[in-house]
Amino acid sequence: MTTQLNKSKGENMGLPTLNDYLILEKIGTGSYATVHRAVRKGGNREVVAIKCVDSTILSKSAIDNLLTEINLLQILKHNNIVEMKDFFWHEGRIYIVMEYCDGGDLSSFIKRKSQLPETICRKFLQQLALALRYLRSHDVCHLDLKPQNLLLTRKPVLTLKVGDFGFAQYLSTSESKFTMCGSPLYMAPEILLRREYDARVDLWSVGVIMYECLFGKAPYSSSSLEELVEKIKSCKTIEIPKGCSVSPECKNLLMSLLKHDPNERLSFDDFFAHEFLDLAHAPTEENHEKAIALIQSAVKADTEGDIEEAFHLYSEALRYFIPQLTNEADHDRRKHLRVRVNEYINRAEKLKAMCMAGNSGKLESSGRKELLQGTSFGYQELRILSKSTTDMASALEMGEVGEQYLAEGNYDLALEKLRACLGILVPLINKEPPGRRRELLNQQIEIWLTQAESIKGLLATRAVDDSPKESKHLQDQCVLQ
């Protein structure tokens, strides 16, 4: 990669120089630099972090790494990537002025807590995934992802930011590199074993980071590099430590990332779409707009008496609103949002009760929705037609039980039953020949899929009660450092 850095910047161009900053304490020493906290003199006296590198003692490859970092950080602007504000040369030293991250790094955060609950792990992973999605869109891979390179800021809300791009490269998935770099513990097997590798190595590192968040140590934590290489070479099975339990979605993501063979590893697209991350509902600005649009449609459907549609839309909107609410740091805005969210929850619950009671307004006029009630005519026909197929008959029974749980407000079990039933029905419909039974089955699957999605919205509302505790807990942890 060619890197162009205007060496005269800061020295001859009247741009910021070291004199513009008041250097405060040293924060730490990295692989080729020291980092200081500093304040910009005059103006808003913004606090920054300044990475200082003595370029005279560096090898050519170290200078290349640093120039790569500078070049990259100049281009990359994302809420989950440490922002580079400026850089300049001064008496043989290169200075990179960055946004100051006041929450330390993820490594110290995990050490303080020993291991993180799944909900917190999900929040960090969501933020890491958003940064990686952005990096992918710029054809950049990091190559040195590890908890020490993931910095945290506390304000306005605890946020993870990817930093230290010293090893980052522009690398499309089709190209590969052979150079060895990064930290062995987080390094993908193909790098350690000196095979060809590509951007997918970052996904392995995400798996190791996720493992460490959940269980407090890396899956192949070893006392020496030899031991680590041995474990990797022998493809030692990675297991969930005894006594620890995680949800099925969480385990699925973890194990799909930690695949030795990059061809078996989860792809970037599947990672971004993974159920555990639920990136689609992450608290981003874009998703806030989506939530508002959904509420507008929900209100419209509600006013028009289409209660099943309104129920689904309110539930879907809640899936966006709840993460926004738990992420909202401003007390007043949070209070205001909470009132609105409570209104939507109440309305969704009311509509659900109406749907379940068969009081579905316009629904009877819609062919698709006549099956909504387990007792409806169409549904009974499907039950009769499925009698000869044991799997289908028992899956339909399971779906009915799921609906029953939904009516009772037991959302965990409702979702479990509907998922199990759909897990059987969806493969079955692919084999089903055209005809009335296929048509009815298709309609019923669609209804239960929609219901399962709505249940996820109702389940998400639980986080509202937990969130104050959770955010307080996070703030406490930050204060402790």
> 118-137 vs 462-480: helix axis angle to the nearest 10?
80
Query: Whole-number minimum distance, CB 16 to ligand 3AM, in Å?
Result: 16
Q: Which of 86, 105, 144, 302 is catalytic?
A: 144
How far is residue 1's CA from residue 3's CA, in Å, rounded to a whole number? 6
How far is residue 169's CA from residue 142's CA, in Å, rounded to a whole number? 6
Tell me the residue number closest to ligand 3AM, measured at CB: 28
Q: Other C-beta atoms within 10 Å of 420: how many?
A: 16
How far is residue 213's CA from residue 204's CA, in Å, rounded to a whole number? 14
Considering beta carbons, is residue 28 or 468 the nearer one to ligand 3AM?
28
Query: Whole-number minimum distance, CB 30 to ligand 3AM, in Å?
Result: 3
3-state SS, one letter per residue, for 145-190: CCHHHEEEECCCCCEEEECCCCCCEECCCCCCECCCCCCHHHCCHH
Query: Whole-number minimum distance, CB 121 to ligand 3AM, in Å?
Result: 20
Considering beta carbons, is residue 105 or 308 the nearer one to ligand 3AM?
105
Query: Whole-number minimum distance, CB 471 to ligand 3AM, in Å?
Result: 22
Contact, 161 vs 150, CB < 8 A? yes
Each residue of 335-361: b (16+ CB within 10 Å) or e? eebbeebeebbebbbebbebbbeeebb
Considering beta carbons, is residue 82 or 266 the nearer one to ligand 3AM?
82
What's the token pair of residue 134? 């952005």
Query: Whole-number minimum distance, CB 395 to ligand 3AM, in Å?
Result: 52
How far is residue 257's CA from residue 201's CA, in Å, rounded to a whole number? 10
Considering beta carbons, is residue 10 or 163 the nearer one to ligand 3AM?
163
What's the token pair of residue 406? 């939904």
- What value, to the nearest 5°, has the Cα angle with vertex 167 and ends 163 and 169? 105
Considering beta carbons, is residue 154 or 200 the nearer one to ligand 3AM?
154
Query: Whole-number minimum distance, CB 79 to ligand 3AM, in Å?
Result: 14
Considering beta carbons, is residue 21 or 100 the nearer one to ligand 3AM?
100
In angstroms, the first-to-last Cα distance of the chain is: 39
Return residues touching ligand 3AM (CB under 6 A).
Answer: 27-30, 35, 49, 82, 98-101, 105, 148, 151, 163
Q: Which of the 8 DSSP states describes residue 237?
A: P
- Kind and range of the H or E element at 63? helix 60-75
Query: Whole-number minimum distance, CB 83 to ligand 3AM, in Å?
Result: 9
Question: Which residues are registered as beta bridge partners of 53?
Answer: 94
Considering beta carbons, is residue 98 or 310 the nearer one to ligand 3AM?
98
How far is residue 455's CA from residue 480's CA, in Å, rounded to a whole number? 38
Query: Whole-number minimum distance, CB 66 to ligand 3AM, in Å?
Result: 13
Residue 262 φ/ψ, nearest 5 degrees: -55, -25
Measure CA 231 to chain center: 29
How far is residue 44's CA from residue 36's CA, in Å, rounded to a whole number? 19
Q: Which of 52, 35, 64, 58 is nearest to 93 (CA)?
A: 52
Measure CA 384 to chain center: 44
Annotation says 332 is catalytic = no
Considering beta carbons, is residue 27 or 354 the nearer one to ligand 3AM?
27
Q: What amino acid positions are annotated as catalytic residues?
A: 144
